[in-house]
Amino acid sequence: MSRIAYVNGRYVPQAAAALNVEDRGTQFADGVYEVMAVVGGRLIDEVPHLDRLRRSLAEIEMRPSMAAGALRAILRETIARNRLVDGIVYLQINRGVAPRAHAFPAQDLAPSTVITVKHMGLPRDPDTVAGVAVITQPDIRWKRVDVKTVGLLANCMAKSRATEAGAYEAWLVDGDGDVTEGSSTNAWIVDRDGSVVTRPLGNDILPGITRASVLALARGHGFTVVERPFTVAEAKSAREAFLTGTTAFVKPIVRIDDAVIGNGHPGLATRALLGHYLDYVAGQGAAA
């Protein structure tokens, strides 16, 4: 079945979907986005995703392009038209179309809104989940990566290095030798004391929705959770390492650069957290 995209008020075959060549999203990466998982036809964590979208828009000085209720209805309609059961929805809102000039236009533009879907299998079983490798790369991104803008070139470059190295993800490293996050996921370790550790929120990481859900689940299930920075060296000698994100869910890491993590197999805490997250997702699918 060919996919249907939503573009500026119309549902069109994706192959025919297009934006104006002077859309500021294409010329300046002047836009924001969200990626939401769909499980059993239901959006996962829709409310926090839309809250983060609103925050991203405010941070780049844009007004919401439409009321939240209208956006939610369009998301559902796009899922339905694509008969999407398991996969993701991609939502992008650009500032709009104007003759190319760096400064934001004095008058508000009509924002461009694009929604596409992708059918894909999502993780299911914590006992058979495969561990992945990550490599480390310098974090060369701008200083406001807490805003989910479409300006992702540095992330793409880092991920490409990872792919070339046969790794799943690149962990980005700041000037102090601390891991900030992955190119499209948040970074975690289980330290020598058995605490679940992830970097605190700030301008230097994306406030991941999966991160927030996993933090709450970890606390609720009695894990000791510490939000603090950690170095690459600490991660390499950690008991466990894992990453979180909308499509990855909770993914065990078994190698960082040349260092094997733990016994080289997905760790116990990581698998437990994936199990809790899968239950949480299944609960939303059933109840929503």
Taking the complex as a whole, how short is the minimal distance between the CB of residue 8 and ligand PDD, in angstroms?
Answer: 22
97 versus 250: smaller Cβ distance to ligand PDD: 250
- 209 lines the binding site for ligand PDD (CB under 6 A): yes
Q: What are phi and psi of 81, to 5 degrees?
A: -65, -30
Q: What would the x/- binding string for ligand PDD be over residues 139 to 168, using CB under 6 A?
A: ----------------x-------------
Alpha helices in 99-241, H assignment, sequence order: 153-164, 209-220, 232-236
d(CA 234, CA 179): 10
Assess whether 159 carries a catalytic annotation.
no
Q: How far is the CB of 155 from ligand PDD (least distance, A)?
A: 6
What is the phi/psi pair of residue 143, to 5°? -90, 10
Q: Is 13 exposed, middle or buried (0-12, 13-18, 19+ CB in 10 A)?
A: exposed
CA distance 64 to 280: 29
Q: Are 59 and 30 in contact (CB under 8 A)?
A: no
Determine the residue type at 186.
Answer: N
- Spell out, one character per residue from 18 to 57, where the chain touches ligand PDD: x when CB under 6 A holds, - when not: -----------------x----------------------
Give the active site residue among 118, 148, 159, 236.
148
Q: Answer yes or no whether residue 199 interacts with ligand PDD by CB under 6 A.
A: no
Strand ranges (E), 132-262: 132-138, 169-173, 179-182, 186-190, 196-198, 225-227, 240-245, 249-256, 259-260
- Only segment of 181-189, 215-223, 225-233, 258-266 that touches ligand PDD (CB under 6 A): 181-189
Only segment of 13-21, 97-105, 132-140, 184-192 that touches ligand PDD (CB under 6 A): 184-192
User: Binding segment for ligand PDD among 10-18, 102-110, 204-212, 268-276 (CB under 6 A)?
Assistant: 204-212
- At its nearest, how many Å lie between ligand PDD and the CB of residue 108? 26
Burial of 119 per CB tally in 10 Å (0-12, 13-18, 19+):
middle
Q: Which is nearer to ligand PDD, 65 or 244 (CB)?
A: 244
Using rule CB under 6 A, residue 245 touches ligand PDD = yes
Are 86 and 120 in contact by the 8 Å Cβ rule? The answer is yes
Q: Which of residues 54-113 bind ligand PDD (CB under 6 A)?
A: none
First to last CA, the chain: 26
Return the range that interacts with ligand PDD (CB under 6 A); candidates 113-121, 183-191, 226-234, 263-271: 183-191
Angle at 63 between CA 59 and CA 65, to 5 degrees: 125
Strands (E), 82-178: 87-94, 112-119, 132-138, 169-173
Q: Which stretch binds ligand PDD (CB under 6 A): 156-164, 193-201, 239-247, 278-286?
A: 239-247
| Binder among 199, 211, 239, 271 for ligand PDD (CB under 6 A) | 211
Positions that interact with ligand PDD (CB under 6 A): 35, 155, 181, 184-186, 206, 208-211, 244-247
Q: Which active-site residues does the annotation give?
A: 148
